[in-house]
Amino acid sequence: MLGWWRPRCASIRPDLVAWVDGQLSSRRAERVRRHVDDCATCAAEAKSLAAVIESQRTGLTEQLAAVSPDIDRLWRQLSGRLHAPQADVGRRRELVWVWRPALGLAVAAALLWLGSAAFEEPAAVLISVGVKAPPAKVTQQPELFKDFAIIQDLDVLERFDTAETEPPEGDRTPPADQG
């Protein structure tokens, strides 16, 4: 007998509080009601829970009612925050640690740039470096050597000191006599 009703009670107990609160679906509530009608233990538990829930309701409501803030003062404060130029002043305050250093860095960079512009030496004079004309293969198969000019320029820059300064093919005209 004991083994028969215990599992049923165990499956009903988790529903008891919700049943007393009237929050179960009608089918489930009916199942609990039928069990409680038959089981004196669960009926006693349900009765105890009903008293507990009622006293919790009264006690908690009374406790919370004891907290009575000055609603006029709160409204004045909230109203001030609502009508601030940017309502979310708090969030802007939180971002101060981001924009202040960023602004500082920007100002420092600007000053550095201005300073270096004022005191830097005259701009370096770029000297055009003549390179040898491309080999015949390059002109015959240009698709294979499309990067030849770039590579040659890089090569020249790498060996700047020893690079021949011979002007390109087209510029090999002898310089005109001066005077």
Partner 1 sequence: MLAAQRDERGAFEALFRKYGRQLAAFARQFVGNQARAEELVQDVFLHVFETRRRYVPRARFATWLYRIATNACLSEVRRGEYRGRIVSLEPPDDDTPAPQYPDPDARSGEELVMRREAGQRINAVLAALPAQQRAALLLARVEGFSYEEVAESLGCSLSAVKSLIHRATLTVRDRLGEEVR
User: Could you list the residues that contact partner 1 (CB under 8 A)?
Assistant: 14-18, 21, 23, 48-49, 51-53, 55-57, 59-69, 71, 74-75, 77-79, 81-82, 87-88, 90
- Considering the complex, state which of residue 23 and residue 141 has its C-beta at the smaller distance from partner 1: 23
AA identity, residue 115? G
CB of 75 to partner 1, least distance (A): 6
CB of 29 to partner 1, least distance (A): 13
- Considering the complex, state which of residue 47 and residue 146 has its C-beta at the smaller distance from partner 1: 47
Residue for token digits 């929050």? Answer: 23
CB of 124 to partner 1, least distance (A): 57
Assess contact for 129 and 165: CB atoms under 8 A.
yes
SS3 label, residue 146: coil
CB of 27 to partner 1, least distance (A): 15
- Considering the complex, state which of residue 83 and residue 121 has its C-beta at the smaller distance from partner 1: 83
How far, in Å, are 17, 49, 53, 57, 143 from residue 66 at the CA level? 27, 25, 20, 14, 89
Cα gap 136→146, rounded to integer Å:
14
